[in-house]
């Protein structure tokens, strides 16, 4: 197919893809992640991307199909990199935590909608791929990481805690502040620039906090 070849050619040349298809996807991604499926109207997508309403169906057959593709990509972007990192045996747990915090805090600063999207996806989809695919690559390497955590817990002098606490706290400390960003800005009188600075600070702080949870 002609247009497939064009796409491939652009990709090989590392050119940005400003095709109609891409414009639709960009607009749709913003709207879907911000407002969800039902709240987002096809007319909005068309308007925001500056294309004709009918073209959305031409390229993606239906709103649902477009949504599925975008959510798939969002999740891929979220997962990307975890697998490699978690599986490594040359890094200890704290080094992994530090890299994890660095990677995702940067990612979330750049894509503000992602945190809320990821968490509500996890929350509302017991059935979903993302939660279920226990046979995928991440699963194996995740176990390496969790075992490292378990080892640290086993070394605790008093009161060992369940690894789920540590995992949950780790994810929460990274992702949660982004979800209450509006509240922090309003109540703590923080502006956008300060908010980003605070999040950057956390890249160093989170490993320290997790360490103190594990070493008492």
Partner DNA sequence: GTCTATAGACGGATAGAC
Partner DNA sequence: GTCTATCCGTCTATAGAC
* 3-class secondary-structure state, position 213: helix
Residue 64 in tokens: 């649902």
Question: Is residue 11 part of the contact set for its own copies (CB under 8 A)?
Answer: no
Binding segment toward DNA, per CB under 7 A, in 61-69, 79-87, 152-160, 201-209: 61-69
Question: Is residue 57 part of the contact set for DNA (CB under 7 A)?
Answer: yes
Binding segment toward its own copies, per CB under 8 A, in 52-60, 74-82, 89-97, 125-133: 125-133
* 3-class secondary-structure state, position 190: coil
How far apart, in whole angstroms, are the C-alpha atoms of residue 42 and residue 98? Answer: 41
String marking each residue 19-58 x if it binds its own copies according to CB under 8 A: ---------------xxxxxx-------------------
Which residue number, 39 or 72, has a Cβ lying nearer to DNA? 39
Q: Which does 131 bind (CB under 5 to 8 A by kind): DNA, its own copies, none?
A: its own copies
Residue-wise DSSP of 40-86: S-HHHHHHHHT--HHHHHHHHSSHHHHHHHHHHHHHHHHHTTHHHHH
Residue 82 in tokens: 């975890």
Find, among 140, 26, 53, the residue nearest to 88 by Cα: 140
Q: Which does 54 bind (CB under 5 to 8 A by kind): DNA, its own copies, none?
A: DNA
Whether residue 97 contacts residue 156, with contact meaning beta carbons closer than 8 Å, is answered with no
How far apart, in whole angstroms, are the C-alpha atoms of residue 92 and residue 36? Answer: 38
Measure Cα distances from 176 to 7, 93, 202 in Å: 37, 21, 12
Whether residue 79 contacts residue 142, with contact meaning beta carbons closer than 8 Å, is answered with no
Binding segment toward DNA, per CB under 7 A, in 46-54, 134-142, 144-152, 193-201: 46-54
Question: Is residue 135 part of the contact set for its own copies (CB under 8 A)?
Answer: no
Q: Which does 167 bind (CB under 5 to 8 A by kind): DNA, its own copies, none?
A: its own copies
Question: Is residue 205 part of the contact set for its own copies (CB under 8 A)?
Answer: yes
**Interacting residues with DNA (CB under 7 A):** 2-3, 19-21, 40-43, 51-55, 57-58, 61-64
Residues binding its own copies (CB under 8 A): 34-39, 116, 119-120, 122-126, 131-132, 134, 142, 161-165, 167-169, 171-173, 175-177, 179-184, 186-188, 190, 198, 201-202, 205, 208-209, 212-213, 216
């Amino acid at each position: 197919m002609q247009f497939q070849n064009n796409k491939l050619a652009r990709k090989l040349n590392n050119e940005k893809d400003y095709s109609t298809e891409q414009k639709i996807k960009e607009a749709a991604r913003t709207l879907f992640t911000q407002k969800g499926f039902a709240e987002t109207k096809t007319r909005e997508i068309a308007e925001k991307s500056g294309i004709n309403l009918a073209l959305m169906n031409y390229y993606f057959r239906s709103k649902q199909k477009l949504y599925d593709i975008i959510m798939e990509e969002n999740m891929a972007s979220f997962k990307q990199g975890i697998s490699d990192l978690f599986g490594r045996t040359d890094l200890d747990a704290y080094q992994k935590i530090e890299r994890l915090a660095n990677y995702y805090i940067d990612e979330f600063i750049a894509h503000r909608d992602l945190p809320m999207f990821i968490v509500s996806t996890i929350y509302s989809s017991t059935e979903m791929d993302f939660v279920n695919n226990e046979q995928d690559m991440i699963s194996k390497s995740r176990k390496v990481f969790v075992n490292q955590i378990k080892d640290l817990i086993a070394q605790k002098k008093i009161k060992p805690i369940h690894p789920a606490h540590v995992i949950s706290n780790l994810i929460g400390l990274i992702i949660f502040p982004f979800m209450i960003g509006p509240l922090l800005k309003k109540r703590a009188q923080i502006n956008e620039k300060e908010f980003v600075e605070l999040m950057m600070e956390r890249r160093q702080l989170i490993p320290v906090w997790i360490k103190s949870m594990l070493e008492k």
